[in-house]
Structure 1
């Protein structure tokens, strides 16, 4: 077909200038069916629609913006049978759909540093067949000359994780750092909120969570301001407390840029280059900059490429045989129904903001789901729907592979299950809790501590053959109160509504 088709289609997560094609008219389609199929977080629905409409306003007469029931209907209304180009979509389902259309040419993917074909060549070259994120990250650093001094990593060390695991400052209600960039809502946001209200009133769409003032960028200009504010104000303190949690500070020193990146408003190259420039100028320490570069150029790229490398069948992975349904209180973000302070606090933050950083996601939300044996596909769908930065490519590998260990170790070397001691060490959430992190049984038994040992017992055969978890299985055999732990775990869920 060539790339001179008269129309170029932008999906709602392809909103930056790097997704435009020179020449041609732009098509954007707002599909109501997307919101009918899943019960999304209200703040996520608002952000996506606001970002799409802001982009359409910027493009002006160059765009045909269609509101339709489905993408197929909208495309037919926008272009008829004319030829269309579109950059590679970000999900298996969207790619299958685009490939089913006539006269649509798929252009290479944008918005990432590494293309799937390059990743496949790297994966094929892995000597023992294991795809280690650390090896991939170093390859990206070399290939893109990121934080490199010649052929050596800046500072002489590739990985500064050991410097980035500090617990939160004792007694602090919040980190002593400026808050993140906050956008101002405008008339577009007001119209989006009116539309969402109307859809809910007519019963055609249902949401979960709260839609307060928009907290994440919805335009390229806002996203660039947010990036500059992060690098200047918050990047210097990002590293040490990267894994820490404070009940009164849901953003800590995190960039809050994942939603803008995943909408295509920012390109990862500009993010990591800005961070490196801060290091080179002496405005941010290496451990903070390396930690951020690792998140964007390492983990994000790794997840995106694994999504395509592992294929659509990966979502069916369930190596641990977990099939329990998500309880209603979790699905509804009903934090008031939860007694464990850590889980109640984080669930309330998801309800109110549609976002928490990676440690609450992994070690509080995901850890709880893993211990309870919830269906990993349902957990993945929940994360997809309830997080403003959640997309299929983001959550499938992160949840199936890392959080729920449902792939049996293809991505990570061990399940991310832990007792209450880890949460107590890395947060201020255990002090006011009704449970005690050191208690396995009794009325004050921490659901994470008791749940951890029940999880190890349930999967002891598999875990005994893993060098990273075999020690826990041996410790299990030394527990004199194991029968009580298992009895309590089987007969009550301490986090269910009383």
Structure 2
């Protein structure tokens, strides 16, 4: 008797390694997973829609028996009922791995990423610092991406970050982002919506027509649309935050990549081919390739290598603010981004890092609460993505393994890289008083509270020198405004170091 291939909801690869030699394929929709706090309705929808589309394709192929366990009491219970041996790809989450191992499943290497956890660990061994830039350059050489005839970086530079950080004030008035590709919902989506209404009616976030690809054909269409329509302008404006333009020039490919229906190397090769054909600026092609070949693979490897559970280098213990669950703070930047997450399950990477993550960092929110919220509130969320990004990068919970300094910023950064401040009652240049930008006050309060921890970090030398020049009376006023800001967010004062 052949084995049963267990296909998890975030491993929907059509070349799934567990399918080789399988007689049965098992899909489990765990009801407790659907009822977890902060899980976005649209996140649940894309996962279930992707699973059911894959099951339907396999069933139509007629080569294997397809078993779907919907509204299951757990992942473990259907596994225990399977008559034959179980085979699964190495999961993307430690919890799923533990369940499969207890069920006696044989785990085979996953092909969802270009660099396995073991390969990443081998690359990391003996290195004093695990710099993403070093990893990215090796990935470029390994796969022969954007290299010149001599094996050096195309154009003479490995990255074009300086050119890819233009503020929205530089954006031409007539530049309008093309509308991104959008799938057509079908009967499977309608069935998913009915089941979510029945079994998980209290999910967070708004229900809406599905916007993201969940099948290989849809992913290919989404990739083609991005390459042709938005990649040319992606590079220079990738860090810009523009109210009313939630997608801007971003790819919207993280969902199909994280579901396993888009091969990361296919996306990389498509961008490189577009550049070499003469239609795409090098800075845009490189910026997009860096996100996938560099950062995405690096984050996945770092997740398995570092195990950030419980990491809390800044001793931050405040609970998740009410403002992250829909209560209005009165801050235009934060309320706009959180409203967008509730509406779409999406915000682009700078909104996540420098509005959401920065707010959580400055207010001293517990890193695990932050990771849980990010992992479930976004359509592309997963612990392997959010633990390194939210806990490591945004909240500095690892004490500097992911970044050389905290990604802390005041209102001036948001003012420079967004158009939020023009519609806000607060002044980003002020740090005290009722009109002061809450982020500006919280920034200096953060530096003050952690001055001993940050002392000795050369990249924090300048803000620490500036802090030393602040008059004690003004510093007291900054602390008072920071406490008011926490109250506006709905959190208690952050713990002192």
State the TM-score, normalizing by the size of structure 1. Answer: 0.93
Distance verdict in 2 for CA 1:220–1:407, change over 3 Å: same
- Equivalent pair of 2:438/2:481 in contact (CA under 8 Å): no
Q: SS at 2:379's partner residue?
A: coil
1:484 aligns with 2:484: no
Distance 2:370 2:339 in 1: 17
The alpha carbon displacement at 1:46 in A equals: 1.0
Q: Counterpart in 2 of 1:177?
A: 177
Distance 1:233 1:169 in 2: 22
Q: Counterpart in 1 of 2:143?
A: 144
| Partner deviation per Cα, 1:381-409 (whole Å, 9 max, x = no partner) | 00011001010101111111100001110
1:70 aligns with 2:64: no
Q: SS at 1:218's partner residue?
A: coil
Superposition misfits of 4+ residues, deviation over 2 angstroms: 20-23, 36-39, 169-175, 490-497
Q: SS at 1:418's partner residue?
A: coil
Q: Counterpart in 2 of 1:100?
A: 102
Distance verdict in 2 for CA 1:404–1:291, change over 3 Å: same
| Partner deviation per Cα, 1:337-361 (whole Å, 9 max, x = no partner) | 1201000110110010001011000
Q: Counterpart in 2 of 1:115?
A: 116
| Partner deviation per Cα, 1:84-117 (whole Å, 9 max, x = no partner) | 2111100111112212222x21111221111112
The correspondence of residues 25-174 of structure 1 with structure 2, limited to 5 A, is 25-60=24-59, 61=62, 62=64, 63-67=66-70, 68-77=72-81, 79-80=82-83, 82-102=84-104, 104-126=105-127, 129-149=128-148, 150-169=150-169
Distance 1:348 1:386 in 2: 12
Q: Counterpart in 2 of 1:11?
A: 8
Q: SS at 1:495's partner residue?
A: helix
1:329 aligns with 2:323: yes
- Equivalent pair of 1:174/1:252 in contact (CA under 8 Å): no
Distance 1:264 1:380 in 2: 22
Gaps of 5+ in 1: none
1:439 aligns with 2:436: no
Q: SS at 1:64's partner residue?
A: strand
The alpha carbon displacement at 1:70 in A equals: 1.2
The alpha carbon displacement at 1:207 in A equals: 1.0
Q: Counterpart in 2 of 1:193?
A: 193
Distance 2:375 2:394 in 1: 13
Gaps of 5+ in 2: 491-497
- Equivalent pair of 2:69/2:78 in contact (CA under 8 Å): yes
Q: Counterpart in 1 of 2:205?
A: 209
Q: Counterpart in 1 of 2:313?
A: 319
Of residues 339-348 and 53-62 in structure 1, the stretch that sits farther from structure 2 once superposed is 53-62
Q: Counterpart in 1 of 2:494?
A: none
Distance 1:492 1:447 in 2: 5
Distance 2:244 2:287 in 1: 23
Q: SS at 1:238's partner residue?
A: helix
Distance verdict in 2 for CA 1:236–1:65, change over 3 Å: same
Distance 1:235 1:461 in 2: 44
Q: Counterpart in 1 of 2:493?
A: none
Distance 2:125 2:55 in 1: 41
Q: Counterpart in 2 of 1:429?
A: 420
- Equivalent pair of 2:319/2:365 in contact (CA under 8 Å): yes
Q: SS at 1:468's partner residue?
A: helix
Q: Counterpart in 1 of 2:286?
A: 290
| Partner deviation per Cα, 1:138-172 (whole Å, 9 max, x = no partner) | 11111111111242111111011011000114587
Alignment RMSD: 1.8
Distance verdict in 2 for CA 1:171–1:459, change over 3 Å: same
Paired residues, number: 481
Q: Counterpart in 1 of 2:355?
A: 364
- Equivalent pair of 2:2/2:21 in contact (CA under 8 Å): no
Distance 2:479 2:317 in 1: 19
State the TM-score, normalizing by the size of structure 2. Answer: 0.93
Distance 1:120 1:461 in 2: 32
Distance 1:384 1:408 in 2: 21
The alpha carbon displacement at 1:268 in A equals: 0.6
